[in-house]
Chains A and B, each alone.
Chain A
Amino acid sequence: MPADLILTVAVQGILTGLVYGLMALGLSVIFGVVRVVNFAHGEMMTIASYAAIVAFGAWNIDPLISMIPIAVLLFALGYAMQTVLINPFINRPEHSQFILLAAVAIIMVNGLLIIFGPDARNVLVDYALDSIEVGPLLIDKVRVITAVLALVITAGLFAFFKLSRTGKAIRACADNHLGALVVGLNVKHLYALTFGIGSAIVGAAGAMMTLLIDTTPNIGPVFTLQAFVIVIIGGLGSMPGALLGGVLIGLSEAMSGLFFAPSAKTMFGVAILILVLLFRPQGLLGRKA
């Protein structure tokens, strides 16, 4: 098999994996702090994708621009969800939280089906079919742009949690819930803020995703599952872990498609998940409980 083919496919896999990682990052942030697993994660991403499609269809706004207001919109949605729906469930058993968010996910999918119908929709910007030549490699321009943006957003988020006062307060809540209450932090507000931030990230990922794939209402559950696989591989709650998990999944899908059977791409991602669960259950970059 030619080396440039292997290299091209590997680069495409890594670039796609970075966007997957960004999508899963929101899930990881929310779990890392609030300790609630968002089973409506992929569905929230689909809402963001449809918002980008509407913005492009109605006002011709490039998803790379509309991702900013969409992230704000998803932040508001996430903040409201945490305040109104999830906070009352914080101390309830995990299965109650699961049912609650699974129900929210079903409502979102069906709502999208009612509004937009089942047809696949996409955004076709001028540069959608452009490629960049790097030596013998031909790399998809959209993938390069979205992967770079994914890295920038992740770096920004990392800086926010490390450097800002609010970020440090959120980390304090995640490290010691009781201690945070004792020192007078408004934990419920910080939880809502975290859920909002996680949702904003998924909003940005959803808008970007319209440049890579066609959107249908039923794609949400697929991405929820994929986000789970990625964060479990990378380590639940770990930001670099989510990115690493995304890259591993992207790369494994690409390489298995190339060397084995393209129709069995998903199988290899799940195989990595099983290996991680067997030999490093906390995930590649996760901390032991």
Chain B
Amino acid sequence: MSIKLTRRQFAASAAGAALVAGSAPFNIVKAQTGKLKIGSIHPRSGFQAQLGIACQRGIDLAPKVLQQLGIKADVEIMNADTESNVDVARARAEKLINDGANVLIGAFDSGQSSAIAQVAEQKGVPYIINVAAAPQITEQGYKFVFRNFPTAPMLVGDGLNLMKSVFEKSGITPKTAVFMHVNDTFGQSMAGAIKAMAPRFNLPFQIVETIAYDPQAKDLSVEIAKAKATGAELLMPVTRLNDAILMVREMVKQRWEPKIVMSPGAPGFYEGQFYKTLGKFSNYLLTNVPWYNPRSAMTQKLLDQFTKTYKGELFELNVGFSFEAVMVAVLAHNAAKSTAGAALADAIRKTNLTDHVMAGGPLQFNEKGQNVNIKSVTLQNLDQRPKVVLPLDIAEDNLTLPMPSWQKRT
């Protein structure tokens, strides 16, 4: 059977085909050069809710602050709640991508971030981790996963180095230590890193007891009793927020007063809720943690906007890293002039920002997608807020040790 076309019919068909063929790429191009849709995925309910909400504040402020800094930010923020649950995180990441997210940012927790990374890689959508330290996330050979947060070994390395600086500066050198850590992905990563790295740092103290506990523990009385019984002079806690509160409360009750309480790099002690709940008992605790650079002009701009928008809330690292994640995505979008996953990922990989919010060197990603230039600082809780006490070039206050007794605080 043969089909006969007249010359007029052939011309009409060819014109139609040309129109379809011509418009298809145009549609693709149009879809890829529009507004950047950022999927912000954090634990906004469940036991990590307060921390997820802190991250969200950094995300929400970013477009306005970037515009104030003269950076074009043509973005739409899409929000998702992981409910502090790994499986929910995975499902919400898929939904965000199905709903059109071009970039994902999140998710505060290492377990949840690992699950989201798998989804993002599979779908070819860039994922910028704002806060999560488990090293394996950027050791998988992922092409679309970037992390602007130190890995657990980086945190521990910086944390242990800063410990030695604190001992030197204060003149107090503990001989024994207890290491207490939350038993989740992050806590285990930190414990693994400390075990592997501590011998290399030639630390002056011996870890006499390691105590792991449930992240959702309702009571830490046994754990503190056990730690107190060692008579250790240094407590090294790796906590989340709620357990950090429980821990200090129990230390006060059991009147355990080690010479120094210093986190090698974990949340808890510097969170707004920690100060609100514990008041005077929150003071003098130390944390070695990546932190915002109080001397940076960009930090001051962000801080101004944060103070205006969230009166009475604390500006801390979750806000800073989340802001920077949006900034990386926006600059990549502006450079790539596309919302296509591969183009955005290429642009993110080329990021090189010397002026940014968090302390450390230029914001760059290595071949694994990891920013290796972030540096920790030593924070001390003074006047019920975190203050940088080391390194001295960006210090806001003087290191105050030894800690006064719990009973003698006013």
Q: Which residues of A line the B interface, CB within 8 A?
A: 1-2, 5, 8-9, 12-13, 16, 113, 117-120, 122, 124, 128-131, 138, 140, 212-214, 216, 218-219, 222, 253-254, 257-258, 261-263, 265-266
Contact = CB atoms under 8 A, between A and B. Distances in A.
25 contacts: A1-B229, A5-B225, A9-B221, A16-B219, A113-B45, A119-B50, A120-B245, A124-B277, A129-B406, A138-B254, A140-B253, A214-B246, A218-B46, A257-B222, A257-B223, A258-B222, A258-B226, A262-B217, A262-B220, A262-B226, A263-B212, A263-B213, A263-B214, A265-B214, A266-B214
Contacts of B242: 120, 214
B218 interface: yes
Interface in B12-33: none
Contacts, number: 87
Interface string B236-276: 00000010011001001111000000000000000001000
Given A9-B225, A262-B212, A119 B253 contact: no
Interface of B: 44-47, 49-50, 183, 211-214, 216-223, 225-226, 229, 242, 245-246, 249, 252-255, 273, 277, 281, 406
Nearest to B45: A118
B219 A212 contact: yes
B272 to A, nearest CB: 11
A212 B219 CA distance: 8
A213 B225 contact: no
Given A119-B49, A214-B245, A12 B214 contact: no
Given A113-B45, A120-B242, A213-B219, A12 B252 contact: no
Interface-central residue, A12, A117, A254, A263, by most chain B CB under 10 Å? A263
A218 B229 contact: no
A53 to B, nearest CB: 13
A131 B253 contact: yes
Contacts of A219: 218
A255 to B, nearest CB: 8
A263 B219 contact: no
A262 B46 contact: no
Nearest to B182: A263
A258 B218 contact: no
Contact of A213 (B211, B212, B218, B222): B218
Nearest to A8: B225
Nearest to B218: A213
Name the 4 nearest CB pairs between A and B, nearest first.
A257-B222, A118-B49, A263-B183, A118-B45
Interface-central residue, B213, B223, B253, by most chain A CB under 10 Å? B253
Nearest to A129: B252
A80 B273 CA distance: 37
Given A118-B45, A119-B273, A258-B225, A138 B255 contact: yes
Contacts of B46: 118, 218
A12 B45 contact: no
Nearest to A5: B229
A2 B229 CA distance: 8
A128 B278 CA distance: 11
Contacts of A5: 225-226, 229
A227 to B, nearest CB: 14
A262 B49 contact: no
Nearest to B181: A263
A112 to B, nearest CB: 12
Nearest to B213: A262
Given A16-B219, A212-B219, 13 more contacts: A2-B229, A8-B225, A16-B221, A119-B50, A120-B242, A120-B245, A128-B249, A129-B253, A129-B281, A138-B254, A222-B218, A261-B212, A263-B213
A237 to B, nearest CB: 27
Contact of B277 (A1, A13, A122, A131): A122
